[in-house]
Structure 1
Amino acid sequence: MPLVTTNRDTLVGQAIAQLREVISSGEWPVGHRIPPESQLASSLDVGRNTIREAVRALAHGGLLEVRQGDGTYVRATSELSGALRTLCGPELREVLEVRRTLEVEAARLAALRRTDSDLAALRKALTARNQASAAISAAAERGEQPDTEALTRAARSDTDFHVAVVRCAGNGMLEELYRGVIETVADSVASTMPDFAGTHDFSHDSLVDAIEARDAEKASREAGDFLDWLIEDTAS
């Protein structure tokens, strides 16, 4: 998404809006180092002070993280997600409990409302998830820790799968709520995946089968049992 020249009025506000759009669209994903002030100022045709104020505002909102001497990185794709990451911190159990609240109902609704095209997209997301997770399972079976790149790829594909389930639910507000916590969800996936890989069936094939069969009760149970296992594991 190219940045366009701003008008001269409310420059900081317009700069904030454009940077936020680039972040929320995924053009700059979480963990991405954004261009330096000079490059952004040139792209938006504004002064560096304007860019500095815009970056400061987005950092205050939790979307960006300024690392002195290193650069500025994308921390979250929305203010809600940024705030939740700050509030939840390392409390993995709380994150998993919130995930359970949203994902169990999403699975139930998905079984009732999914369309054929929804199911095709869900199957595609499941395949990508299982393929990316295979490397994590293989490392666990060898008693090794997965490399960072493989873990990041697996966590991203797992999160994409859960987003696909929520989208199948056909509830716009539920999807917005879930997207608001998506970075926190991804963090919880990355935190738990190395521990349960190879010791628990986390392929989610049964969940998708239940959604395909329009079995709402089984879909809810599959989503809930998996997260219950994770929650219990974090408490032990």
Structure 2
Amino acid sequence: MPLGALRPTPLVEQAIDRLREQITAGEWPVGTRLPGETSLAQALGVGRSTVREALRALAGAGLVRARQGAGVFVIATEPEENWSVQLLRAAVVDVYEVRMMVEVEAVQLAAARRTDADLTAIEAALAGRAEASGGSDAQFVDADIALHAAVVAAAHNPVLTALFTEFVPALRQGLIDLVRLLDLRRGDPADGADGSDPAQGADGAAGHAALVAAVARGDAAAAGRALRDELERTLSQLQSVGP
């Protein structure tokens, strides 16, 4: 299978794809030393810097490894799954359990660290969630996630923010399906989301308002309790409908 010259753009992505195809197709078996950068660059019709970036990406995917003074060798024919892919493949209940651990800590930090600008953003997101209650299930879930994201951002910890961002794709569809399956948003407002807490309302508006109020007054303990109660209710619902 000849490599062949690449199209003009985007060169690095094309180089990654072309080299990965050669590896996964078995053209370069495990243990094989790849041609040098110059040879690969000529075969692909790109510069050595493009080849270097492509090899770096393939190394990050666990397909190749550079050996000092010896070259770059194939070490696997299938790429390792990154964190995002693992989350997408995981059961939504498992992801939600970890989300609880991360987000409850984040909201307590947010209550202690939030700025006036953070509070403005959080209150706007709470209002957006209320407005979305009249929209589609997807719009409602997206607005709910946006509120939680605003609270996590107020913790001013980039690692927590990144973790929450990674959870979102794995959770979003599961939550949309849950809302549709249990008809959570169209129940009697006098009933709780899980039938056990009438104060919450069908869409958990009261619980979210309590969460925002706790963050606003800087009460970390109350904010943590409010969020844990909300997430535990949702987790219980997820567990009740199964995978």
TM bracket (short chain): 0.5 to 0.7
Q: So what's the TM-score if we normalise by structure 2?
A: 0.57
RMSD over aligned CA atoms reads 3.0
**Structure 1 unaligned regions, length at least 5:** 17-45, 47-53, 62-77, 136-149
Q: So what's the TM-score if we normalise by structure 1?
A: 0.59
CA distance in 2, matches of 1:13, 1:162: 39
Number of positions where the alignment pairs a residue of Structure 1 with one of Structure 2: 158
Larger Rg belongs to = 2
Question: CA shift at 1:155, angstroms?
Answer: 1.4
Greater length-normalized contact order (CA 8 Å, ≥ 6 residues apart):
1
Q: Residue 6 of structure 1 aligns to which amino acid in structure 2?
A: T
Question: CA shift at 1:14, angstroms?
Answer: 7.7
Q: Residue 235 of structure 2 aligns to which amino acid in structure 1?
A: I
Question: Contact (CA 8 Å) 2:92, 2:171: kept in 1 or not?
Answer: no
Map 1:65-144 onto structure 2 (within 5 A): 79-86=82-89, 88=90, 91-135=91-135
2:175 corresponds in structure 1 to 189
Question: CA shift at 1:154, angstroms?
Answer: 1.1
Question: CA shift at 1:206, angstroms?
Answer: 0.7
Question: Contact (CA 8 Å) 2:96, 2:235: kept in 1 or not?
Answer: yes
Q: Residue 211 of structure 2 aligns to which amino acid in structure 1?
A: L
CA pair 11-171 structure 1, distance change in 2 beyond 3 A: closer
CA pair 82-213 structure 1, distance change in 2 beyond 3 A: same
Map 1:123-202 onto structure 2 (within 5 A): 123-135=123-135, 150-194=136-180, 195=182, 196-197=184-185, 198=187, 199-200=192-193, 201=200, 202=204
CA pair 12-98 structure 1, distance change in 2 beyond 3 A: same
Map 1:13-24 onto structure 2 (within 5 A): 13=15
